[in-house]
Amino acid sequence: MIGPPTLRRAACARCLRPQANCLCALVRATSHRTEVLVLQHPQEQRQAKNSVALLRLSLAHCEVVVGERFAPAALQALLQRPGRDTRLLYPDVPAAPAPPAPRATAGVPVRLVVLDATWRKSLRMLLEHPALAALPRLSLDAPAPTLYRAIRAARQTDQVSTLEATVQALAMLEAPAFDAAPLLDAFGRFVAGVAARQRPPVASGLA
Ligand SMILES: [Zn+2]
């Protein structure tokens, strides 16, 4: 006799998270013309606090590929699309200087590549993949204050979540047509939900 299937925590078929942490009620469909490709470090995929699932479900054109190392041919196939200018959302930093800026091609839609990893791991991904390092960069002018601090206090204070950085980049690329407000509002409620599930810190005089 065949027994019942092994019991697992029931997962939501759409967002693939445990039912108790389902994101779907938060999703606000957001229209935009930029293609977004997120290269997600495997450690981030397993993070309940990660913002990319909400981003992927909300954006009309967002692809998420999980990996730490990519074969050159496979990476090229992900990065380039006909009729699109590919840009890497990454600052011009001494450890990984940006290549010379290309001539502006006004009106050409962008394929925006976003690295979803801690700062240290995203830098390593960049340095280990010449095709990523060679991409023209898109740098955020001045990162907006993050809503994330409540749940990821260990991150650098000026480091915003992947969702916030991507939304800010889309606003830069597509202003004034792009409306960031519904997605940022949804992210605020996501952060509040995660914070509420975390055990409140024990009141103590110790640091
Ligand atoms: Zn769901």
CA 136 to CA 133: how far, in whole Å?
Answer: 8
Ligand 1 centroid–CA 155 distance in Å is 27
174 within a domain of the structure (yes/no): yes
- pTM of the predicted model, to two decimals? 0.86
Domain that holds residue 162: 28-94+107-197
Indicate whether 96 pLDDT > 60. Answer: yes
100 within a domain of the structure (yes/no): no
Which range, of 12-21, 64-73, 86-95, 119-128, averages the lowest pLDDT? 12-21
- What total of structural domains would you count in the chain? 1
15 within a domain of the structure (yes/no): no
Q: Tell me the residue type at 10.
A: A
4 within a domain of the structure (yes/no): no
Predicted local distance difference test score (pLDDT) of residue 3? 47
Ligand 1 centroid–CA 58 distance in Å is 12
CA 114 to CA 34: how far, in whole Å?
Answer: 12
Ligand 1 centroid–CA 57 distance in Å is 9
Cα dist. 178→31, 46, 60, 122 in Å?
A: 7, 30, 12, 27
Q: pLDDT, tens digit, for every residue of 137-150?
A: 999 877 666 666 66
Indicate whether 207 pLDDT > 60. Answer: no
Ligand 1 centroid–CA 21 distance in Å is 8
149 within a domain of the structure (yes/no): yes
148 within a domain of the structure (yes/no): yes
16 within a domain of the structure (yes/no): no
Q: State the Cα torsion 12-15-17-23 to the nearest 10°.
A: -100
CA 11 to CA 2: how far, in whole Å?
Answer: 23
User: In the block, which residue shows the tokens 């495997």?
Assistant: 42
Ligand 1 centroid–CA 132 distance in Å is 32
Ligand 1 centroid–CA 135 distance in Å is 34
Angle in degrees, CA 16, 19, 22, rounded to 5: 65
61 within a domain of the structure (yes/no): yes
CA 175 to CA 180: how far, in whole Å?
Answer: 10
CA 105 to CA 173: how far, in whole Å?
Answer: 12
At residue 111, φ and ψ (nearest 5 deg) are -105, 115
